[in-house]
Structure 1
Amino acid sequence: MILCRICETVILPVSCRTGILPVSCRTGILPVKCGTGILPVSCRTGILPVSCRTGILPVNCGTGILPVNCETGILPVKCGTGILPVSCGTGILPVNCGTGILPVRLRRIIACLPVFVNFGLN
């Protein structure tokens, strides 16, 4: 099922040499595996679709997206300055399942493309 239709999506290049993902933010929707606390990142293609507008990540505690705050169903995103650490050995982004914190900081808008996003939810 299509979880969201995102008209403007930022495609973020992943550096497989440094394992660093430059993040651009107007808001954010990131698919994360429930229970594992990891975000799949393709180091083969070197991209991760992220849509940004509000600075929060909508999540569903009952789906394949990591619940950060099960009461509010959102994950706060800090937009301002920096990067997301990505393991290019495993192609995943560590997320703190205890606190549900995923630090995201604004650097620059890299690209905006019209896309349909399917997170593969039932």
Structure 2
Amino acid sequence: MGGEGKQKSEKIADSTTKQARSGPPPACFYHSDCFAYQKGKCRVLYSNDFDSGQCPFYRSRSDNRKELEACMRRLLRIGRRDLLDKYMRYHAEAGAFANDYSDGVADEILAYRNRGAGEEDWPESGA
């Protein structure tokens, strides 16, 4: 019974996110090394009107990869395969798995997810 409420709130969050992303992405002039930077535009935010003049969401690609891997490890550890699938699908669509490193991480996650492994079975990261 508690799971129904969680699924309903996740559906609402999905539709709210889609509504918020209805405009074209803005040009990005701040950090070309940001994880969200693609062809001169930000693929995550839809406004670059920052009071401070600096993007508060800036994160380098390497930092983003570390956080992505940590999040996926946690989802495996707590047994939330439903969220892991959703998370992987979202990041694949956003291009997070567009290079060899990320492809390797995605393959490992799929293999361990299918095996039902926990964090204790996770191989040491080479990065």
TM-score, normalised relative to structure 1: 0.21
Whose strand proportion is higher, 1 or 2?
Answer: 1
Whose helix proportion is higher, 1 or 2?
Answer: 2
TM-score, normalised relative to structure 2: 0.21
Structure number with greater CO (CA < 8 Å, separation at least 6) is: 1
